[in-house]
Amino acid sequence: MKLFEMMVNHKINQIRPDELLSLAKQHQINLTQKQAQDITALLAGKNINIFDIRQRQNVLGQITQVAGANTARAIETLFNNLTANL
């Protein structure tokens, strides 16, 4: 399970805007190109562990600031979907 966590976290920390848009589409989350760019710039290289509740809430707060509350809630849903597989 630790390997799965490492893979998901690595992907989140290295995700490109087009990949985030594709992932959002797979999970029926509406996301604009600009929002995807802002969010991926925020996540880039920060070593965020989305399986850690405090880190996840911190990054969601930052996403709220750059992309708005509705988008942050949608990204939270995406994070929950990714972490629920354990």
Which pLDDT tens digit goes with each residue over 11-46? 889 999 999 999 889 888 888 999 999 999 999 888
* Of 28 and 61, more confident: 61
- The pLDDT value recorded for residue 1 is 67
> Which letter does DSSP use for residue 60 in this model?
H
pLDDT of residue 86 exceeding 80: no
Handedness of CA 28, 33, 35, 37 (dihedral sign): positive
Domain extents in the chain: 2-83
Average pLDDT in the chain: 89
